[in-house]
């Protein structure tokens, strides 16, 4: 038996190769801020209390942030609330999109955009 057995399993001619991490892009990731999340969760909490919505998902992409609302976890989202800063000067940064891809409302003020998801008041 040789003395090298068990000391180093690599062959003698193996060389280590350093692989650098991919370069990080300087573009910041788009996200909802605290006030936007508070507005969204106020609506979401009321609808959960009514038993209509049961789950949500947050998705932060490079180009937009998405808050998806589900009736059940295993389904497609009922609604998506999107924040896309590239559209801020044109159509508005916020949009509510239905399950089929139909844009229900788009605008610059999140509270007004979310009003499309509010239930109308009923006389009792």
Tens-place pLDDT, residues 75-120: 789 999 999 988 888 888 899 999 989 999 999 999 999 999 988 7
SS3 (DSSP) at 43? helix
Distance (Å, whole) CA 34 – CA 103? 24
Task: Please say if the pLDDT value at position 12 is more than 80.
Answer: no
pLDDT interval class at 121 (50, 70, 90): confident
**Phi then psi for 112, rounded to 5 degrees?**
-70, -35
Question: Tokens 């909490």 label which residue?
Answer: 45
Burial 97-122 (b: 16+ CB within 10 A, else e): beeeeeeeebbeebeebbeebeeeee
């Amino acid at each position: 038996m040789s003395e090298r057995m068990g000391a180093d399993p690599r062959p003698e001619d193996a060389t280590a190769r350093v692989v650098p991490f991919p370069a990080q892009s300087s573009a910041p990731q788009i996200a909802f801020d605290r006030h936007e999340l508070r507005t969204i969760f106020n609506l979401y909490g009321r609808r959960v209390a009514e038993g209509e919505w049961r789950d949500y998902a947050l998705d932060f992409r490079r180009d937009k942030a998405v808050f998806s609302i589900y009736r059940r976890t295993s389904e497609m989202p009922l609604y998506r609330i999107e924040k896309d800063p590239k559209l801020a000067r044109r159509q508005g940064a916020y949009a509510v999109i239905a399950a089929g891809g139909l844009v229900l409302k788009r605008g610059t003020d999140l509270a007004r955009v979310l009003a499309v998801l509010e239930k109308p008041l009923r006389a009792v």
